[in-house]
Structure 1
Amino acid sequence: MEKSPAPENDSDEIKDAVASPHSPTVDASPPEVLQEPPEAEENEVVEDSNAEEPDLTLPQVWEEIDAFLGRNSDSPRDGGESNSDSDPIEIPRAVELLSKNVESMIDKYALDAGRSKFGHDPEEDSCFFGSVGRLSKLADKIGDLKPTAENANVLRSSSLNRTSSVLQQAMSFLEEEFRAILDEDSKTGRDDSDPKSAKTKHSSSFNNCCSQESDRCNLPEPEPPSTEEEFQQFTPETISVMSKIADAMICAGYETECCVLWMMMRRRAFKSALSERGFDVLSIDDVQRMQWDSLEREIATWIAAVKRCSTILIPGEGALSGSVFSGQPEIAQDLYGNLARSVSIRLLDFAEAVVLTQRSAEKLFKFLDMYETLQDLIAAVDGSKQYPDDPKKKEVRAEMMAVKGRIGEAAVSIFCQLESSIKSDSSKVPVPSGAVHPLTRYTMNYLEYACEYKDTLEQVFQQHHDKAVVETANGEPTDDADSSAMKASPFSVQLLTVMDLLDANLDMKSKLYKDPSLRYIFLMNNGRYIVQKIKGSSKIHELMGDTWCRRRSSDLRQYHKNYQRETWYRLLQCLNHEGLQVNGKVSKPVLKERFKSFNAMFDDIHKTQSTWVVNDEQLQSELRVSISAVVTPAYRSFLGRFNQYLDPGRQSEKYIKYQPEDIESLVDELFDGNPTSMGRRRT
């Protein structure tokens, strides 16, 4: 590995000290370390040259080292001019003293029982990194020197050999400290909330929605990361320390070790964070075997994990790598790209496994939740200013887009299966009492729920469902204002198709009723339920359009008229004046028969239709009011005109069973679903 030149790490204090030889020492090591005479077993040159020289302070040691490095900058790769092979090389005793200084400081740091060795004494840390930086430069320069007859002994000196040994010792120490700092982050600051027990953005089960008519439950959106969360649990001081360690290791030629350690520890930190939030890696087989209730909880956990990554990984981790490796922007970009890809692949693999599961109607909304979550993640990637030209970032985004597309395709497929479910519902058993059919309730709740994802569904249908022509129920193209908007909205087209299929199915089911009146009650119940659902949801109403709603309201009025005709207009025939007079006089037998027929028919209608159900209070009230408005005035008029022709007493009581007020009271008992015993009601 080619070693890059080391940047200066001198603090202002050290620079001042070097500039002034009379400045006090900032050496954090014990004085005797610098005063100890160097070993001379193998280096006569160093021993002789240092015999009578005074002790050196650390700034003086640095000054000599810097001067030595400057005099021997003869490596072609450094741009220097190579000295003559016969030039003698003089190794200053500062080289040995520098190695001893670094060893001493490492030993002193090792005595610290705390987890973090740095940060307690900034001046001491600055001295250490300054010494290590010069040590790595010495190792580079010594390695570049060419051995000659004159300098062979010098290059074999123990002082120079120890330089590499001490540098390796320093790198091992820094690597362990780097690991300790990164490992501390992976064990702190975890969120104890259990996303598996919480709901995602929407309610957890569509089946519950259909059975209970419940509204959607909204999970609060995750709060944006605070300043403290920007770099996970790292303080600015810790980041500064890590940056110095990274610079020192890279400049010393330990770039691979530094980067491998960083990637290993950051991946571990994210894996730990995701595990703490309940997200664990599941194989495709695990997902395939999972029951929907369990998989639904796993999806909720996945959504929470992805949202966390979109708010922490994208902005925070990129900034973290950029700060720690600020002196090596290319390395920072590469590390961030690798980490983002590693974490993203774990999350995307789960999403792809979910897409491969068997599709069913209740899965639509979780699929849409996943689609929206990935969409937010992609937006976070696009909005990140970190490393805009990083090819790995673009690769990760492309993979996210591909998975999002597969989820969108699955969502379209699931929604279109609603057509098949309506077509296949061919039950031959009519719903008792003409109530709202379960198919109507299911379909409308499903559509209402789906339209809460209106924008997302329009997007996925636009991308994955091609339908160019808007057609009405009879297959003829429309040219009204609503159709113009729907031509640009394939989802609107699909919605209208579903509604047309539902209408056709309900019309077929209405024919299962032998009583024509009940048939129209059934159609009114279901039609009113549909209209009320659409009017109650602005989003589905927007998709269906005003023209469709007006047409449906017109259909309901026609059903109402048909019901009146089949039931009450027949009853009114009993109150017809025609045929009552014979030779200019009212025929009592005919009159008595008319009253008897009216009473019998009204009793039968009341007995039957009081068991029928109209759950919509407004429709129930409209029906009762319209019936009373038709029957009561006609009966009051008939009774007022002809009751005088019946003999008072038993004859009158026998044929005049109801007073007009009784008729009104009995009409108010219709459509309650509870039969009422008929009794004589007289005023």
Structure 2
Amino acid sequence: MPRKGMRSIFFRPSSSPSSSTSSQPPPSPLRTFSDSLMEQNIQIAEALVTKWDDSKLGTPLFSGTRQEARKYLDAVKGLQSAMQYFVAQDSTSATLVRAQFLMQLAMKTLQREFYQILSSNRDHLDPETVSARSSIDLRSSVSEYVSDYDDEITASEDDFRISETERVSMLAMEDLKAIADCMISSGYGKECVSVYILMRKSIVDEALYHLGVEKLSLARVQKLDWEVLELKIKKWLNAVKVAVGTLFHGERILADHVFSSNPEKRISESCFAEITKDGAVSLFGFPEMVAKCKKSPEKMFRTLDLYEAISDRWTRIESIFSFESTSAIRLQAITSMVKLGEAVRTMLTDFETAIQKDSSKTTVPGGGVHPLTRYVMNYLTFLADYSGVLVDIIPDLPQSPLPESYYRSPMRDENPPASELSEKIAWLILVVLCKLDGKAEFYKSVELSYLFLANNMQYVVSKVRRSNLGFLLGEEWLAKHESKVTEYASKYERVGWSKVFASLPENPAAEVKVEQARTHFMKFDAAFHETCRKQSSWVVSDPKLRDEIKGSIGSKLMQKYSEFYEKNRVGSKSVRFILPEDIGKNLSNILCGNGDLDSVSSHSSSTTSSSHRSSRR
């Protein structure tokens, strides 16, 4: 078009060059193509903004198809561009005032829509659904499966399918992001953020409440009975699993996605911090309060459960709460771990002290396994199941002086933390074995003392071999202590059956006089039956060890007595004596704890002994 033609469109010529300026209105300002374009943006925005003003329509803008919503957002962007343009031209123009009024209406509508989407999609925007997909997957999925305006979700090239819940969740998140982008870019980010925080914080707080997370004071926790506190710990263990794995993780993904247009993540950071801070601090503060309660060995394993729950999730906690504004949450989690570790070390020290201070002089009937042995080994067996976290706690625990050749782990140089734990376990077992050595002296008979030691050492070895203690202590430790069992059993056999073996001649195959033979038969019969009667009240708890001991005694007795019997039985027919084949039958009754207990315990009171004998009658 000729330049002259262009001018005829944008300029109006004066009616008469000679007309007086005083009698005519001032000429209209110069109107450019940009002016017309910006005014057109305002007109488009005005039509949509007034249409969807809440005083005119009650239907949500983002319901049904998104065509109208997309047009609305595009119109707001155009309106913003017009406002920026006219501010530069004339900040007091009526057109700018009109545009500002329309922008306020538009932001009011979008704020209402933002609230409506958050409110109506509580179930579809639950953290579990959101956390099931990473933010990267979410962005790619939405752009790939949601067509421009018709909200249709189709199969991808690999025939990927998503559930209806995921579809609605993805659409809601995209709508929220679109509104947030528009409001923030228009200078109304504060209004958008306030609605988001209000809605999502209520969801997080409600979820934590249903998980049993309470805002407790230290004074209240310290007053709780252990049974009540233990129930709260169990609830907490489940709560932290859900909170870290789903709740906080989902909220972080949602906030990062909705406010992803902010490259520095300041908005998503402030929203996420405000939404989760109170609940997360309460959640991770509970273990610290437990750690500050009165300590006792029976609280050890729940304390380790708390430590392990945080330790196992620390990487995810650090990732979720990576913002500077959430550093207080990370600090609280670390503080709880530190305090729990201190509590564990204190309880281990108290446990060791309790073993060393045990002054009970009561003996176990029949030389069986002492309650102290059972308690300590069961305790250590459970403790070994927490070796993964104990290796982080034990290195700071002062180690008592030990005979290094006894406890030092062969793997110390290869894996120092694990070996320190192994050495601590070995030391605690050594402490209890030393106590058992002292308790063995309380028995009247030396042979029963050895049987007591064999029983308890076997119990220790069995517990170690059948649990994670075996992995910690190793085969060398096991072999050394198994040899101790054999040594104690051999001493019991030698002392306990010495009278029976001594009743036979040194050389059983040699011929002796008839009177001498009769004397040997009589002494053997008396000694054998007396020993069997006495040891029928003794006990060997481990079936394998019991069979080995009986087998060893039987084979030696059978060999020696059979030789003597075969050589001398003819001249001793008038004497009643035991047959060789009856030795095994009589031995079957020993070490089962079913016989007379009169001579077992040197520290049982006469009243107790009488009562026990009466009950047997």
Change (3 A) 1:479 1:674: closer
CA displacement 1:450-473 (0-9 Å, x = unmatched)? 1122121112213x3254x9832x
CA displacement 1:486-516 (0-9 Å, x = unmatched)? 8653212211210110111111111111122
Change (3 A) 1:322 1:225: closer
The 3-state SS of whatever aligns with 2:293 is: coil
Q: Could you tell me which amino acid in structure 1 is paired with residue 336 of structure 2?
A: V
Cα drift, residue 659 of structure 1: 0.9
Cα distance in 2 for partners of 1:638, 1:531 equals 39
Cα distance in 2 for partners of 1:376, 1:624 equals 50
Q: Could you tell me which amino acid in structure 1 is paired with residue 475 of structure 2?
A: D
Matched, 1:603 2:529: yes
Partner of 2:48: 101
Partner of 1:534: 464
Cα distance in 2 for partners of 1:667, 1:519 equals 20
Partner of 1:563: 492
Matched, 1:248 2:182: yes
**8 Å CA contact 2:503, 2:524 repeated in 1:** yes
Q: Could you tell me which amino acid in structure 1 is paired with residue 451 of structure 2?
A: I
Cα drift, residue 274 of structure 1: 2.3
Q: How do residues 458-473 of structure 1 correspond to structure 2 at under 5 angstroms?
A: 458-462=391-395, 464-467=396-399, 471-472=402-403
Cα drift, residue 186 of structure 1: 4.3
Q: How do residues 606-617 of structure 1 correspond to structure 2 at under 5 angstroms?
A: 606-617=532-543
CA displacement 1:401-434 (0-9 Å, x = unmatched)? 2322222222222233220221132211111121
Partner of 1:664: 584
Partner of 2:334: 401
Q: Could you tell me which amino acid in structure 1 is paired with residue 575 of structure 2?
A: S
Q: How do residues 299-448 of structure 1 correspond to structure 2 at under 5 angstroms?
A: 299-313=233-247, 315-329=249-263, 330-382=266-318, 390-393=323-326, 396-448=329-381
Matched, 1:586 2:516: no
Cα distance in 2 for partners of 1:300, 1:66 equals 71
Name whichever of 160-169 and 451-460 sits farther off. Answer: 160-169
Cα distance in 2 for partners of 1:141, 1:224 equals 40
Cα distance in 1 for partners of 2:76, 2:327 equals 38
**8 Å CA contact 2:514, 2:568 repeated in 1:** no
- For 1:177, which of 113, 117, 123 is the aligned residue? 113
**8 Å CA contact 2:61, 2:113 repeated in 1:** yes
Cα distance in 1 for partners of 2:373, 2:210 equals 43
Cα distance in 2 for partners of 1:422, 1:265 equals 56
Partner of 1:632: 558
Cα drift, residue 295 of structure 1: 2.6
CA displacement 1:259-311 (0-9 Å, x = unmatched)? 22222322221122223333333333342233333333322332222222333
Change (3 A) 1:486 1:98: closer
Change (3 A) 1:97 1:498: closer
**8 Å CA contact 1:440, 1:502 repeated in 2:** yes
Cα distance in 1 for partners of 2:570, 2:32 equals 135
Cα distance in 1 for partners of 2:226, 2:559 equals 60
CA displacement 1:532-551 (0-9 Å, x = unmatched)? 111222x3223223332222
**8 Å CA contact 1:531, 1:552 repeated in 2:** yes
Cα drift, residue 358 of structure 1: 1.7
Partner of 2:479: 550
**8 Å CA contact 1:465, 1:490 repeated in 2:** no
Cα distance in 2 for partners of 1:595, 1:333 equals 95
Cα distance in 1 for partners of 2:531, 2:129 equals 62
- For 1:295, which of 212, 216, 229 is the aligned residue? 229
Q: Could you tell me which amino acid in structure 2 is paired with residue 505 of structure 1?
A: K
Cα distance in 1 for partners of 2:194, 2:460 equals 62
Partner of 1:452: 385
CA displacement 1:3-50 (0-9 Å, x = unmatched)? xxxxxxxxxxxxxxxxxxxxxxxxxxxxxxxxxxxxxxxxxxxxxx9x
Partner of 2:11: none
The 3-state SS of whatever aligns with 2:540 is: coil
Cα drift, residue 227 of structure 1: 3.6
- For 2:197, which of 254, 263, 266 is the aligned residue? 263
| Identical counterparts, % of pairs | 26
Change (3 A) 1:305 1:137: farther
Name whichever of 265-274 and 174-183 sits farther off. Answer: 174-183
Cα drift, residue 614 of structure 1: 1.5
Q: Could you tell me which amino acid in structure 2 is paired with residue 178 of structure 1?
A: F
Change (3 A) 1:639 1:396: same
Q: How do residues 150-169 of structure 1 correspond to structure 2 at under 5 angstroms?
A: 155=94, 163-169=99-105
Cα distance in 2 for partners of 1:501, 1:224 equals 54
Q: How do residues 184-203 of structure 1 correspond to structure 2 at under 5 angstroms?
A: 184-186=120-122
Change (3 A) 1:507 1:238: same
Cα distance in 2 for partners of 1:146, 1:162 equals 13
**8 Å CA contact 1:135, 1:167 repeated in 2:** yes
Q: Could you tell me which amino acid in structure 2 is paired with residue 626 of structure 1?
A: S
Cα drift, residue 674 of structure 1: 1.8
TM-score, normalisation: structure 1: 0.70
**8 Å CA contact 1:314, 1:380 repeated in 2:** no
Cα distance in 2 for partners of 1:663, 1:356 equals 63
Cα drift, residue 530 of structure 1: 0.7
**8 Å CA contact 1:355, 1:407 repeated in 2:** yes
Q: How do residues 122-141 of structure 1 correspond to structure 2 at under 5 angstroms?
A: 122-136=66-80
Cα drift, residue 346 of structure 1: 2.2
Cα drift, residue 104 of structure 1: 1.7
Cα distance in 2 for partners of 1:184, 1:511 equals 77
Structure with bigger helix share is 2
Cα distance in 2 for partners of 1:305, 1:393 equals 20
**8 Å CA contact 1:109, 1:117 repeated in 2:** no
Q: Could you tell me which amino acid in structure 1 is paired with residue 580 of structure 2?
A: P
Q: Could you tell me which amino acid in structure 2 is paired with residue 439 of structure 1?
A: L
**8 Å CA contact 1:482, 1:546 repeated in 2:** no
Q: How do residues 30-41 of structure 1 correspond to structure 2 at under 5 angstroms?
A: none
Cα distance in 2 for partners of 1:670, 1:95 equals 106
Name whichever of 433-442 and 272-281 sits farther off. Answer: 272-281
Cα distance in 1 for partners of 2:288, 2:125 equals 30
CA displacement 1:127-153 (0-9 Å, x = unmatched)? 222333344555666677767xxx7xx
Matched, 1:652 2:575: yes
**8 Å CA contact 2:233, 2:302 repeated in 1:** yes
Change (3 A) 1:175 1:487: closer
Change (3 A) 1:271 1:94: closer
Cα distance in 2 for partners of 1:102, 1:94 equals 12
Partner of 1:226: 132
Matched, 1:276 2:196: no
The 3-state SS of whatever aligns with 1:575 is: coil
**8 Å CA contact 2:311, 2:337 repeated in 1:** yes
TM-score, normalisation: structure 2: 0.77
Cα distance in 2 for partners of 1:670, 1:109 equals 99
CA displacement 1:359-389 (0-9 Å, x = unmatched)? 22232222222222212332124556xx96x
Cα distance in 1 for partners of 2:457, 2:582 equals 31
**8 Å CA contact 2:114, 2:176 repeated in 1:** yes
Number of residues paired by the alignment? 537
